[in-house]
Amino acid sequence: MNLILLGAQGSGKGTLAKNIAKDFGIVQISTGDLFRESIAKKEALGLKAQEYMNKGELVPIDLTLKILKERIKKPDCKKGFILDGFPRSLEQAEALKKVATIDYVINVHLPYEECVARLTTRRTCPKCGDIDNMDYPGYTGNCRKCSTPLFQRDDDKPEAIKTRLEVYEKTTTPLIDFYSDRLFKVSSLGSPADTYKPVKDFLLKHGGKK
């Protein structure tokens, strides 16, 4: 079962992806991880991607797809995968058709103000990268994993959040139409468990095997 996960930053998309991956035995693939893995293994395609990243340029779509194609051939993707953060445009969605069949697209929806609210209270550990939220129970201001004081990333500040969410909205709306025949929409206004429940039911009903 091959899935795409759509959802703005702050929508809880990452947590949902983890739940699906764990329950259904499929692999979560974010483009960032895809490049990092390939680079770490010193694969030729990964090193090529690194050249673009070092120059601060976007990795071209053809190269991204080649890396993805290699990744999904690996044995851990036998039961399927969830793409997170890709495709981001119609052009990419068209190109993806040549590499993989997508069964379902899960669109995680959270009202704009709520995304902003969740992102502005998000705090990051400078040492281990763990993410926490001031609104979560037990928040102390220190990292739960390594006790380092947390900080607010520049791109989690209000102005940057606004820009990120606007860009997201603009690029994703056409994708929702593109995948309308295989789209499942879920609201993430409730808890992570509330968000996951209907998605799980949908996937089980549509042939996902746990």
Residues that bind Zn ion in the complex, under the rule CB under 5 A = 125, 127-128, 130, 143, 145-146, 148
Q: Which is nearer to Zn ion, 111 or 126 (CB)?
A: 126
In whole angstroms, the minimum distance from the beta carbon of 20 to Zn ion comes to 26
CA–CA gap between residue 102 and residue 89 (Å, rounded) = 15
Residue 122 a catalytic site member? yes
Contact predicate 93/172, CB 8 Å: no
Residue 88 a catalytic site member? yes
Q: Which is nearer to Zn ion, 20 or 143 (CB)?
A: 143
Residue 182 a catalytic site member? no
Q: Which is nearer to Zn ion, 59 or 125 (CB)?
A: 125
Mention every residue, 6+ apart, whose C-beta is less than 8 A from residue 8. Answer: 108, 110, 115, 165, 168, 169, 172
Instruction: Determine if the peptide bond prior to 137 is cis (ω within 30°).
Output: no
CA–CA gap between residue 63 and residue 165 (Å, rounded) = 26
Catalytic residue (choose from 71, 118, 122, 200): 122
Q: Which is nearer to Zn ion, 127 or 209 (CB)?
A: 127
Catalytic residue (choose from 71, 123, 164, 200): 164
Catalytic residue (choose from 36, 144, 153, 182): 153
Residue 153 a catalytic site member? yes
Q: Which of 98, 118, 197 is nearest to 165 (CA)?
A: 118
In whole angstroms, the minimum distance from the beta carbon of 130 to Zn ion comes to 5
How many CB atoms are closer than 10 A to CB 155? 13
Contact predicate 50/39, CB 8 Å: yes
In whole angstroms, the minimum distance from the beta carbon of 35 to Zn ion comes to 23
Contact predicate 11/109, CB 8 Å: yes
Catalytic residue (choose from 36, 88, 182, 197): 88
In whole angstroms, the minimum distance from the beta carbon of 142 to Zn ion comes to 8
Active site residues: 13, 88, 122, 153, 164
